[in-house]
Chain A
Amino acid sequence: MSIDPSYYLALAGLMFAIGVVGTLTRRNAIVIFMFIELMLNAVNLIFVTFARMWGNVDGQVLVFFVLVVAAAEAVVGLAIILVIARRRETSNVDDISMLKW
């Protein structure tokens, strides 16, 4: 027997909403980063759910792409955060607002 897909979608929606709220409300760059990962994983879950639902592997393939991109993003993003933290002794994104006109 199988579980109704709507549960998966509800869980994924909840995870995405938590990710959005967390990204917008938190100030620590690493925490924001984690919330972004949460949103990505929520999307992954939706992909997998629909792939299973339609008996189609396209969604599962896309998940791999998302995972790879997320990994690459983590490497670059964490490196940037680390360098900023070393130079400016902060990881608060509101303190890093110099990159504008």
Chain B
Amino acid sequence: MKAFDPVLAPYIVALPLIGALGLLLLGRRLRAVAGLVASATVGVGFVLGVIVLVQMLGVTEKGGHGREAVVRVWEWISAGSFSVNVDLLVDPLSMVMVLVVTGVGTLIHVYSIGYMHDDPRYSRFFGYMNLFVASMLLLVLADNLLLLYVGWEGVGLCSYLLIGFWFERRAAAGAAKKAFIVNRVGDFSFLIGIFVLSVTVSSLTVSSINEAAGGMTAGIATTAALLLFGGATGKSAQIPLYVWLPDAMEGPTPVSALIHAATMVTAGVYMVARFSPVFEASGGLALGVVAWIGALTALWAALMAAAEYDIKRVLAYSTISQLGYMFLALGVRAYSIAIFHLVTHAFFKALMFLGAGSIMHSLDGEVDMRNMSGLRKVMPITAFTFMTGWLAISGIIPFSGFFSKDAILASAWHQGRYALWAIGAGTALLTAFYMSRLYFRIFEGDLKVPEGVHVHESPPSMVGALIPLGVLSVVGGVINLPGLLTLDHFLEPVVGESEVPSGFTPWILGAIALLAGIAGIAFARTLYLLPGGATRRAALCERFKTPVDAARNKFWVDEIYGRGIVLPGKAFASFCANVIDARLVDGAVNGGGRVVAGAGWLFRRAQSGYVRSYALTFLFGVVVIFSLLVFRVAL
């Protein structure tokens, strides 16, 4: 049987990279075709990904590493026995990620052609988008931590460039800076984690780290795992580093879709799944931290989402919350389930962001849900596709989100983590509530739009991207339908099989998850859809004034960070600038200059310009040397 040899894999990364270089260097000349070129590079990458997947599925070897291959692109660093190469690891896990990134990425690119059409920096936008996709592909395909880190930082850079794409707006520039700096905190932890692993294992490849993980002491493994997870909290927006993601909504909407669905935030989930043996080796502590951070983030973000009025920010908090679910799944050893939820979430979240973009496009950039309603009548395609996303995230059977979310809750239950299960189930109710609130307020009821806006359905390139995502949101669940196609089984050689309960329990758990979703929707319906909802809302807000206020103010987390971290940081920076740098460093430099100048002032007295005094000095010197010679004084 022919061995698995994915020679096409490097081109999947290279194509968007070439597209990015071309668009950024020759941008203005390529303006007319920039969107098509960018979409084509990612789209062809998707086709190549499918070809590699078909090759991979052709290898029927079970249980072994038959479906895994490392493609050497070139040797990068080689020092003695330590070497780091540009190697791409092609295995089931990386292929799932490649297909999500390129597949969803292509649709977002196509959508952007319509959305960004009038922007003066049209081709630069597509250059950045291509670079973003290329970095993410490098991240998921990297065979060693250093190469992964290159992609990791590339993703961070592109998020900065794209969030601040409309940098003329102060808020956008600030949000870009915030995203970059908050991510740096996580990246720092991640980098230290890489150092710990490289010192312990003395190799950075995925296979050697994961093989060595079994032999690590619990202390080392816990340290490494928690440091890596620190990086993941930054990139994947978990407590305590989630604060950048809501602000990242200042970027163009397709960027939000790309960040939330295909690239960037999924990096942390992927990384933890990829290095799951290291997390396993810590003896439960690291995984416990991952699970609890995930569960708490899911709940925390859902609370804020329920109090937010900005459409895009609701979606941002919802992303944070859903990422929390993924980490919850990782923490209860259901790695393939986490990837499953990542995939379905990519479908419905990309869909809803693009839907939100479609609304903004139609309403001249209006994002406050209080200023609109009843849009279903004028934007039927957007409304219908958005509805599939809403039902998917609310966990309604048979939409994709039901299967993945139910699987996460079932795994938590199966591991005996009932507290985590309860938080997850409660969050499922909240999720259904805030998404229904969003949907009902925007699309149902009487038509209401801001003054002077001509509402219209979005152009074909935009709704054209919504429809396939809508279909995927509906049927995406089948990729892990028990007994049919199993993602779980496909990923097993990489991350091990996720244990799910058997017998009667999963049916009960599924029913509870479904009921939670339905209850959330029903509750939202009484508040936002049925007559008299407004008075009920007001009564409820009055009764729970303190918690509602807290959620509306995002629990003052930004303010706490501002007082507790940013202000002391600024004070320390100004101390360094005004005292250490201005006094100490500059003092040493200026002092050195003054000493030399003083010496010069002293010695230039000797340079009188009178030739005869020089001659006399000569003579004096000659006499001295001569007498030394004559009197044989040894110098």
Q: A73 on the interface (CB 8 Å rule)?
A: no
When C-beta atoms are compared, the residue in chain A nearest to B600 turns out to be A101
- 1-58 of chain A: CB within 8 A of chain B: 20, 23-24, 27, 32
Check B607 against A93 for contact (C-beta < 8 Å): no
CB of B502 closer than 8 Å to a CB of A: no
Q: Which of B607, B608, B609, B616 is within 8 Å of A24, CB to CB?
A: B616
| Nearest A residue to B611, CB-CB | A93
Task: Kindly list chain A residues whose C-beta atoms are within 8 Å of the C-beta of B612.
Answer: 23-24, 27, 32, 93-94
Contacts of B608 in A (CB 8 A): 97, 100
| Range of interface residues on A (Cβ < 8 Å) | 10 to 19
| A75 CB within 8 Å of chain B | no
Q: Are B619 and A101 in contact (CB under 8 A)?
A: no
Q: How far is the CB of B616 from chain A (nearest CB, A)?
A: 6
Interface residue? B508 (CB, 8 A): no
A87 nearest CB across to chain B (Å): 17
- Min C-beta distance of B385 to chain A, whole Å: 83
Which B-chain residue is minimally distant from A100 (CB atoms)?
A: B609
Within 8 A of B (CB), among A53-101: 93-94, 96-101
Please report the C-alpha to C-alpha distance between residue A4 and residue B542 in the assembled complex, in whole angstroms.
131
Query: Shortest beta-carbon distance, B596 to chain A, in Å?
Result: 14
Known A93-B612, A94-B612; contact A20-B619, beta-carbon cutoff 8 A: yes
A23 to B622, CA, bound (A): 15
Does B615 touch A at the CB level, under 8 Å? Answer: yes
Is B82 located at the chain interface by the 8 A CB criterion? Answer: no
* Closest Cβ neighbor of B603 among chain A residues: A101
State the CA gap A93–B612 with chains docked (Å).
8
Q: Are B609 and A23 in contact (CB under 8 A)?
A: no
Name the residue of chain A whose CB is nearest to the CB of B622: A20
Cβ of B616: which chain A residues have Cβ within 8 Å of it? 24
Q: In the complex the two chains form, is B615's CB within 8 Å of A23's CB?
A: yes
Verify if B610 is at the interface (C-beta below 8 Å from A). Answer: yes
B contact residues around A94 at 8 Å (CB)? 610, 612
Best-surrounded residue of B604, B608, B612 (most CB of chain A within 10 A): B612
A101: nearest residue on chain B (CB-CB)?
A: B604
Please tell me if the beta carbons of B619 and A100 are within 8 angstroms of each other in the complex. Answer: no
Tell me the nearest residue of chain A to B616, going by C-beta: A24
CB contacts (< 8 Å) of A101 on chain B: these are 604, 607
Distance (whole angstroms) from the CB of B626 to the closest CB of chain A:
12
Residue on B nearest A23 in the bound complex, by CB: B615
In the complex formed, the residue of B with least CB distance to A29 is B611
By a CB distance below 8 angstroms, the chain A residues around B611 are 32, 93, 96-97
Q: Which of B615-630 contact A (CB under 8 A)?
A: 615-616, 619
User: Min CB distance, B622 to chain A, in Å?
Assistant: 9
Q: Is the CB of B615 within 8 A of A99?
A: no
Whether A99 pairs with B609 at a CB distance below 8 angstroms is yes
Contact partners of A99 in chain B: CB under 8 A: 609
Do the beta carbons of A93 and B610 come within 8 Å of each other?
yes
Contact between B619 and A97, CB atoms less than 8 A apart: no
**Closest-CB distance, B53 to chain A (whole angstroms):** 80
Minimum C-beta distance from A47 to chain B (A): 17
**Which are the 3 A-B pairs with shortest beta-carbon distances?**
A97-B609, A100-B609, A100-B607
By a beta-carbon cutoff of 8 Å, the part of chain A in contact with chain B is 20, 23-24, 27, 32, 93-94, 96-101
Can you list 21 A-B contacts with CB-CB less than 8 angstroms, sorted by A residue number?
A20-B619, A23-B612, A23-B615, A24-B616, A24-B619, A27-B612, A32-B611, A32-B612, A93-B611, A94-B610, A94-B612, A96-B609, A96-B611, A97-B609, A97-B611, A98-B609, A99-B609, A100-B604, A100-B607, A100-B608, A101-B607
Further contacts, 4 of them, CB under 8 A, given A93-B610, A101-B607: A94-B610, A97-B608, A98-B609, A99-B609
